[in-house]
């Protein structure tokens, strides 16, 4: 009786363990995003987020892209996405008018990079031939804050910052292995943590 219960408990606790570890030990990175507003009857309200670093067109001009494509040729299918590591560089200044500045992609690799400079980190994703998924694309929010957040997002979508981007970013924690966990949403100068 004790052994099956222990195994079940270990399985249940191992699911959130990686996310908790990443949240505690990970490095804070800010990603540019664009929201979509779906509703799941069973789970409630959430934002589907589309990151600039999720689009092949935004990454295929980076150093390492051609080598990455050579390494994955013949291995890629939509049912069997391959690992990709996008190397992000920290901005020179950390905030702009109260909003954290976005980290910029500077390189890509099929293998986890080692010995990156202190101002860089690699985030792991799954590439299916067109887009990259990082496990950060769905962000659940409490129903009582949904209306305020959606109003802020609509207002932000009509605004463009000095860099020509909508002031809507996501703070994530990235572990040394490249796993990432969303921490908060920044809509204009407002921060929402859940």
Cα gap 71→23, rounded to integer Å: 31
Q: Minimal CA–CA distance to 35: which of 178, 112, 136, 103?
A: 136
- Of the chain, the percentage scoring pLDDT greater than 70 comes to 84
According to DSSP, residue 135 is labeled S
Cα gap 116→28, rounded to integer Å: 16
Residue 59: pLDDT band by 50, 70, 90 thresholds? very high
Residue 36: pLDDT band by 50, 70, 90 thresholds? low
User: What per-residue confidence (pLDDT) applies to 96?
Assistant: 67
For residue range 141-175, what is the model confidence (pLDDT) as tens digits?
777 887 787 778 777 777 665 555 666 889 999 99
Q: Specify the higher pLDDT residue, 70 or 156.
A: 70
pTM value? 0.81
The per-residue b/e assignment along 75-87, b for 16 or more CB within 10 angstroms, e otherwise, is: eeeeeebbebbbb
The listed range with the strongest mean pLDDT (30-34, 63-67, 127-131, 190-194) is: 63-67
User: What per-residue confidence (pLDDT) applies to 41?
Assistant: 47
pLDDT at 193 over 70: yes
User: What per-residue confidence (pLDDT) applies to 163?
Assistant: 57
For residue range 82-117, what is the model confidence (pLDDT) as tens digits?
999 999 999 987 666 677 889 999 999 999 999 999
pLDDT at 76 over 70: no
Q: Are 140 and 43 in contact (CB under 8 A)?
A: yes
Q: Are 96 and 140 in contact (CB under 8 A)?
A: no
């Amino acid at each position: 009786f004790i052994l099956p219960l222990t195994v079940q408990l270990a399985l249940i606790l191992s699911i959130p363990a990686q996310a908790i570890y990443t949240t505690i030990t990970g490095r804070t990175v800010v990603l540019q995003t664009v929201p979509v507003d779906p509703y799941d009857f069973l789970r409630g309200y959430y934002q589907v987020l589309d990151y600039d670093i999720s689009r092949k067109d935004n990454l295929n001009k980076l150093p390492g892209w051609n080598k990455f494509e050579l390494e994955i040729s013949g291995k890629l299918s939509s049912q069997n996405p391959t690992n990709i590591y996008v190397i992000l560089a920290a901005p020179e200044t950390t905030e702009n008018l109260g909003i954290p500045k976005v980290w910029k992609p500077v390189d890509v690799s099929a293998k986890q990079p080692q010995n990156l400079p202190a101002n860089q980190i690699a985030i792991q994703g799954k590439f299916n031939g067109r887009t990259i998924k990082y496990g950060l694309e769905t962000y659940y929010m409490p129903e009582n804050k949904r209306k305020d957040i959606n109003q802020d997002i609509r207002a932000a979508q009509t605004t463009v910052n000095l860099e020509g981007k909508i002031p809507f970013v996501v703070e994530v924690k990235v572990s040394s292995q490249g796993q990432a966990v969303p921490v908060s949403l920044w809509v204009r100068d407002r921060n929402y943590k859940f």
